[in-house]
Structures are given as C-alpha cells and as structure tokens.
Amino acid sequence: MSDPIAIGLAGVSKRYASTLAVDDVTLSVAHGEIFGFLGPNGAGKSTIVKMILGLTYPTAGQIEVLGQPAGSLAARAEVGYLPETFRFHDWLTASELLHFHARLARVDASLRADRVRELLELVGLKDRADDRLSTFSKGMMQRVGLAQSLVGAPRLVILDEPTSALDPIGRRDVRDRIRELGEQGVTVFLNSHLLSEVEQVCDRVAIIDHGAIVAEGKLDELLSAQEIEIRAGEGAEAAVREAVGESSVRSIDGRLRVRVADDGEIAMLVRRIVEAEVPLYDVRHVGDSLEDLFVRVAERGDV
C-alpha cells in the first residue's frame, strides 16, 4: 500500500435538519497508528465514526478509508468495527456470531473455524463459545464484540468505546489487545471517554467539541506545556492574569493553576508576585494530563 493514509477526512460536515453535528472536519490517520478520538458527549464523535464506516453520509466533504471512498465495499472489507452499543442478535451463540461475521467479511471457509476459535480464546470466552449471547453479561458482550471486529483480519479497526462495560482487568486486556494490533501494523481508531486508556495506548489524539476538531497531535506534544499551581496571598491572581493572559489561568480552591510554556515563565511569574508585594507560599509543578487538556478544551474550546 503506497498510500500512507489509513483514514482521511477532508472538509467533512454533517447537518441534521437545523443542527450542524460535524463542522468542516479535516483529519488524517496514518497506517499502523493507534489514534485516539476524544470529546464530550454529543460532540460528534460517533457521527464521524459512522461516516468513516459509510453508515451515515456526510453532507459535505470527502472521506477516504484505506485508499477507497468511505463506505465502499472494498474499504469495508478491510475494516473491523465494534459499535458503541455492542448489541448483537442475542439468539446467536458466541461462536455463531463470529462465524456469521466471518462469512460477511468474506473470510475463506477453510480459515473460519480456526479464526473463530482463536478469537474466542483471545477475548477469554472459549468456554462460552456455544452459549447464547442472551445469557452474556454486558462485559462479555463487549468482549465478543471485540472478537467480532477482528474476525475479518482487518487492516483498520474502529473501536467505539470498547471498554465502557469492562472491569479494570478487562480494560487492561483490551489495552493489551490494542497494543498487539499496533505491533502487527493494524491501524486502530479508538473512540473513548476513558482518557487514561487513550493516554496509555494512543500514538496520536484528536479532541472534538461541538463538531469541530479543537486539538490534534502527538500526545507528548499536546501535553508538553506544563502547568504549575501557585498558592499565594490576595492579589496574586490579578498579577498572574496580567502577566500570562486570562486564558492560561484557572482558580481552583483558592489556588491558581497556570499553564506555562517553559521554566523562564515560572521565574517571571514568581518575580511578578514578589514585585506586587503579595506573599508567595508555594509553587508546585503539577504537570499536565490528558484529562486536564480535555477539560480545558471542553470548557473553553481551545488549548
């Protein structure tokens, strides 16, 4: 495959009646990348996922998947998908579900039985292979759903909230599976609310809010800006806000959280507080987590 792009969205919008669910999104995911897609509820994540799969049609823009137009049979043949609802026909047994999807995914008849067995073992459902899905817990449904998404040996896997119903051990298992997929060169598009999960497995992330991408990049780049916490007397906040600008400062329980670009800025802030003759009690480096980034983006719509 000469095309280095696994998923490419160019100027994609989706309008439902009067609401613009997705607003001019341009995004690309490279082959073999584990890509995290984050955003608050109702931000347009699932709509974008469904447009990538050809389940929903964009009102503007183009989407390409593995070098093919999104939704074309050729593109779908190489994509695995775990829907957010992970609801499957519960009159099937786990093994029957996987066999059915293997046939739909055009897996060669001679490979099907082995593939199904391996996947059920991979997700820890080997002993329940012949039980009906109606007897499965939510977590088990999600695991069989993950196996279902992998049954066609896809080159691209799209997982919509793959661990929402899992316990911590199940979550770790899924993270391990995602890393294994990455090692095998499979592209993974991970839609998740669980920031720690995205933080642990993803090479790159995009954050979407109100239908538009508000941050995108490698995790360490997005998180490179530091945050410090300042505990100081009255008047410090005004001095700090004046020094670094309103948008970089938050006040939490009387302490100031300030985003700074480098150490020089920290020294400058300390000097300003001292010059303002405000007592300075404590300056702490609090780092930055994806959660901070996410909350900031969701609250203010910028980074």
Partner 1 sequence: MSTHLIAFFTLREALRRRVVLAAALLTLGYLVLYGVGVWFGYRDLQNTPGGPPGLTEGVVSLMLVGGLWSLNFIASVLAVFLSVGALSGELDQGTLHAIAARPVRRSEIVLGKFVGFTLMLAVFIGVSASLMILIVAVITGEVVGASWSGPFLMLLASMLLIGLALAGSSRLSPLPNGVIVFTLYSTALIGGVIEQIGDVLESAVMFNIGVFSSVLIPTRAIWDMASAQLATGGFAGELSAGPFGASNPPSGWMLLIAGLHLALALGFAVRSFSRRDF
What is the contact surface with partner 1 in residues (CB under 8 A)? Answer: 50, 53-57, 73-74, 76-77, 79, 81-83, 85, 87-89, 91-92, 100-101, 103-106, 145, 148-149, 152
In the complex with partner 1, the residue whose CB is nearer, 103 or 271, is 103
The distance of closest approach from Cβ of residue 121 to partner 1 in the complex, given in angstroms and rounded to an integer, is 21
In whole angstroms, give the CA distance from residue 15 to residue 9. 16
CB of 73 to partner 1, least distance (A): 4
Nearest approach in angstroms of CB 137 to partner 1 is 17
In this complex, which beta carbon is closest to partner 1, that of residue 83 or of residue 182? 83
Residue in 73, 80, 69, 63 with CA at minimum distance from that of residue 8: 63
Dist. CA 265–CA 168, nearest whole Å: 39
- Name the minimum Å distance from CB 83 to partner 1: 4
Q: Closer CB to partner 1, residue 50 or residue 255?
A: 50
CB of 286 to partner 1, least distance (A): 41
Instruction: CB nearer to partner 1: give 35 or 81.
Output: 81
| Nearest distance, CB of residue 210 and partner 1, angstroms | 19
CB of 57 or CB of 281, closer to partner 1:
57
- Pick the closer one to partner 1 by CB: 79 or 269: 79
